Structure 1
Amino acid sequence: MSASTNSTPVNEKGEQVLQDFKLLDAVNDRYGGVVVEVTVPLESTLFTSMLRASIAQWRQQWQLNSSLTLGKFSGGVQGMFGRTSSGRDDCSSGGDILGKRGVWIKLPIQHSNLVDPAVKEGFWYHHAEPNYLMLCYWIPEGTHTLPANASHRVGIGAFVMNEKREVLVVQENTGRFRGTGVWKFPTGVVDEGEDICAAAVREVKEETAETEIEAAKWMPFEEYASQPFVQKHELLKYIVDICLAKKDGNYSGFSPVHTSSSFSDENNYMYFNTRDLEGQ
């Protein structure tokens, strides 16, 4: 992370002055904010001064952009811009006039000495991964609109039935079901970026491996459904009804349809009832 320089707009008397100071390098995100990723060691005092200067500039941009927006709606923006020799609209200092709202700082674990200075400047924790901490800050007054950290996981269960109308069930040797005698469908959690159907196949393979379970077998569907554990929980009773309807052809369920999106280069899937959509 290198540092850039800029000039303060005014002094304590409100007079315009030019004074160089170091700014944190940042990239614009698509939502009117900036992202700072610290990649080189910094002393806490230097980081604090750079952070304060950067926030001051981003706040100035926000205030200027707000003023321009108000002027636009009142028909008074003409004349607030200059025209550069290249013909593009620019502001007085030639800088970015887009208002910055959210500020994100990504701190790798090796730069953890900068967490405390950032918090003291008003940043708060957003989320953490094994090798970095993400902090955030909101420039406008009022309640922020930054998205919350992802806090949910997608769980899956695999309904596998053979031609004898028997379902694949397992007894786990770890977790809450260890030693309970409960026979259950293979279940697990979808990994990040993993297709739901691929996750179901993976979990079946993992949970039927000798190291993952106490036992596995084929069990008549009715025997599985009559277990007190299944009958006790409404969710599992719904799953039994859905699986049985699926087997008998009375329920089509959702199918993954691969799609493209301009929002992301990652694989995208829509899950919907393709049979009804196609009029079958």
Structure 2
Amino acid sequence: MTATTFDDHERVQWAGKAAAYRDSFASLCAHPAGPLLDAATVGEGVRVLDVGTGTGTVAALACSRAAKVTAVDAEPSMLEIARRRAADAETHLAVLPQLPFPDGCFDAVVANFVLNHVGDPGAAVREMRRVVRPGGRLAVTIWPYPPPPAQQLWNTIFDAAGVHRPADLPRVAPDKDFPRDHDGLTGLLDRAGLADIRCDLLTWTHRVHPDTWWAGPANGLGTPGTLLRRQDPATIARVRHHYDQHTATYRDAEGRLGLPTAALLASASVR
């Protein structure tokens, strides 16, 4: 199994960005951590693998449940922070779709928004399934399509600023992609040979300071960050102007944003 062009782009995009992620988008991604572990029935003594641990949010929560936690990530700077946050977890550098573990060595595998960042989602799910024992659990989250308001807001801002979308932005190859909706995600798990598949929509309001929400793309994170980094200073200033305008309606009396958002959480059993 080899890396795709999309995978190569992800490695470059996230290189050295752990602190920027921790200080911007990590709080957004943290919301489903509890439901994700619940869906995988992670509790005391459960051998769980957290794939794409990032800064260790899910791994730390699993440790607090007295689970036996192993965490992996493809980015060394993420693991540096995760090791401090989840000191009781065993950590490894690993890049999907290859995990450095034998078949069936975990009771559960969880992956929080990881499938949004791999070039071959099907191969990633099959590899995660491989390392779970028969009867064990696998649980994943993704950002859905159409995007929820928190994510769609960036498209609105770029459109208002007249930012052109270049044709060369890396995308998952059509023959490897899947619809980012309920049926698409459950179908992905079904094709990987999983059973008892369930998929739920999680909704919440993300509370964040406007400068923190801006900081993610300003530091090159995500598709908005990739796009913003390609602009000249005048265009970036114009984007910021429209950012301030379009986020104004989401601000509370204290100036914090309340952004409606959503994620799909799917879980299944390993045959």
- Bin the TM-score by the shorter chain: under 0.3
Q: Report the structure, 1 or 2, having the larger helix content.
A: 2
Report the structure number with the largest CA radius of gyration.
1
Report which structure shows greater RCO (CA 8 Å, sep ≥6): 2
Q: Report the structure, 1 or 2, having the larger strand content.
A: 1
**What's the TM-score once normalised by structure 2's chain length?**
0.23
